[in-house]
């Protein structure tokens, strides 16, 4: 009878009910907690992998989610480390150093990876009319961005170095995969393109491992694959170059690279003056224009990386007219006086912070 069953709750039944109650609470907390966990914090899950390591003279962080995330993350790290060993201008054993040592003499046979990035860098140099130039290696060295020098190079030194600066001095031979620097003062430096190029190759690599989403941060060069688990875009902030404790705004990023160049991150201080690490390949001096930072939003990482440098060198007016003729990327620029300029194709992608006023420019 019912009444008797209510009245006679034996110990076993009581234990079962207590266990059920505790389980219900535990399961519900776990389920709700799991649902509330954002992608970035779910490091312990089997299909999420995070790697962070030093490479290319900076810090790399890769966060992946997908079927073979762990295997993919290992492969991604190995690829970047391989690129680092091949392309470091400071490592005497790298292929770039071998090419530089042989400047003005014979051609050097290189791996396909090195050959392809050099070709890509030349393509971007031509595209930007030389505002991005991968041959500024000697200038970087003279200005002390490669070793501790606390003086400004002499005019004579700069003239000698400038004579070697031109992407046209780099001869590539497709047939035997070799590279030759025509001028003895030409020095390759892929620092302005290597990380962006690496993100493009990483995207190809990760596609083979069925990676659903990824947040790749190569020393501040951000590349996102896919969208967040909840279907929203990744929020990539752009630092205000005039007050690095603030953001200019947020780029809502899906399947794009967001790459920023600005003199505020790395600079040289000589006799009280701060010089940007961005070299102007035309003047031979650190870039000094009316721009404080340039951020590129592009599906093409190598192009984005090269363009962020090139547009900084061009200055605001030239940069705007360049974009008007080549509007296949997005750009956010902050001038030295704090004005914000943005290409019209980012109107719904870039949201300025604190209702900052933005001047949008349209394509030609």
Which residues contact other proteins (rule: CB under 8 A)?
2-3, 20-21, 24-29, 31-33, 36, 40, 50, 52, 54-59, 61, 90, 144-148, 215, 217, 219-222, 224, 228, 234-239, 244-247, 250-251, 258-262, 264-269, 277, 293, 295
Nearer to other proteins, 115 or 145 (CB): 145
> Which residue, 208 or 246, is less far from other proteins as judged by CB?
246
Nearest to 303 by CA among 197, 168, 170: 197
Q: In angstroms, what is the minimal distance from the CB of 356 to other proteins?
A: 15
Count of residues making up the chain: 364
In a 3-state reduction of DSSP, which class is residue 186? coil
Residue 154 is given by DSSP the state: P
Residues 83 and 194: their CA atoms lie apart, in Å, by 8
Contact 315, 335 (CB under 8 A): no
Task: Classify residue 243 by burial, with Cβ atoms within 10 Å: 0-12, 13-18, 19+.
Answer: exposed
Q: How far is the CB of 110 from other proteins (least distance, A)?
A: 22
Closest CB 253 distance from other proteins, rounded Å: 8
Neighbours of 324 (CB within 10 A): 14
Closest distance of CB 79 from other proteins, Å: 17
Minimal distance, residue 127 CB to other proteins, in Å: 21
Q: Which one, 245 or 337, has the nearer CB to other proteins?
A: 245
Residue 49, beta-bridge partner list: 64
Here the tokens at position 3 are 């009444």
Nearer Cβ to other proteins, position 103 or 218?
Answer: 218
C-beta of 47: minimal distance to other proteins in Å? 18
> Among residues 275, 300, 271, 297, which one has the least CA distance to residue 288?
275
Residue closer to other proteins, measured from CB, 180 or 335: 335
CA–CA gap between residue 31 and residue 36 (Å, rounded): 9
User: Of 61 and 324, which CB lies nearer to other proteins in the complex structure?
Assistant: 61
Quick one: 125 or 258, whose CB is closer to other proteins?
258
Nearest distance, CB of residue 337 and other proteins, angstroms: 19
CB of 172: closest distance to other proteins in angstroms? Answer: 26
Write the CB contacts of 104 (distance below 8 Å, at least 6 apart in sequence).
Answer: 181, 182, 183, 184, 185, 186
What whole-number distance in Å separates Cα of residue 236 and Cα of residue 251?
Answer: 5
Whole-number Cα distances in Å, 92 to 85, 188, 198: 10, 13, 21
- Closer to other proteins by CB, 126 or 243: give it: 243
């Amino acid at each position: 009878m019912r009444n008797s069953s209510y009245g006679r709750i034996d110990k076993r039944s009581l234990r079962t009910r207590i266990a059920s109650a505790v389980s219900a609470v535990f399961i519900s907390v776990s389920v709700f907690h799991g649902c509330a966990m954002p992608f970035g914090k779910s490091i312990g899950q089997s299909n999420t992998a995070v790697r962070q390591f030093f490479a290319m003279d900076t810090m790399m962080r890769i966060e992946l989610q997908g079927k073979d995330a762990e295997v993919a993350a290992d492969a991604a790290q190995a690829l970047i480390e391989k690129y680092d060993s091949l392309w470091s201008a400071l490592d005497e054993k790298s292929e770039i150093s071998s090419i530089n040592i042989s400047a003005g003499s014979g051609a050097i046979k290189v791996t396909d990876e090195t050959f392809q990035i050099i070709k890509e860098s030349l393509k971007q140099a031509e595209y930007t009319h030389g505002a991005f130039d991968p041959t500024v290696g000697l200038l970087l060295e003279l200005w002390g961005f490669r070793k501790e020098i606390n003086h400004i190079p002499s005019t004579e030194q700069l003239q000698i170095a400038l004579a070697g600066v031109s992407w046209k001095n780099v001869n590539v031979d497709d047939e035997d995969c070799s590279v030759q620097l025509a001028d003895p003062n030409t020095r390759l430096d892929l620092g302005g393109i290597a990380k962006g190029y690496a993100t493009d190759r990483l995207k190809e690599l990760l596609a083979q491992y069925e990676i659903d989403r990824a947040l790749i941060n190569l020393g501040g060069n951000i590349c996102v694959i896919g969208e967040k688990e909840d279907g929203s875009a990744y929020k990539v902030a752009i630092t205000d170059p005039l007050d690095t404790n603030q953001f200019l705004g947020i780029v809502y990023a899906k399947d794009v690279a967001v790459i920023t160049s600005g003199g505020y991150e790395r600079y040289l201080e000589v006799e009280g003056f701060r010089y940007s690490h961005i070299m102007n390949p035309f003047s031979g001096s650190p870039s000094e224009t009316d721009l404080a930072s340039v951020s590129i939003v592009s599906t093409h990482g190598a192009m984005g990386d090269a363009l962020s440098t090139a547009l900084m060198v061009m200055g605001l007016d030239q940069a705007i007219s360049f974009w008007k003729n080549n509007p296949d990327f997005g750009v956010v620029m902050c001038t030295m006086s704090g004005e914000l300029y943005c290409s019209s194709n980012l109107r719904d992608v870039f949201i300025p912070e604190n209702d900052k006023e933005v001047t949008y420019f349209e394509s030609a």
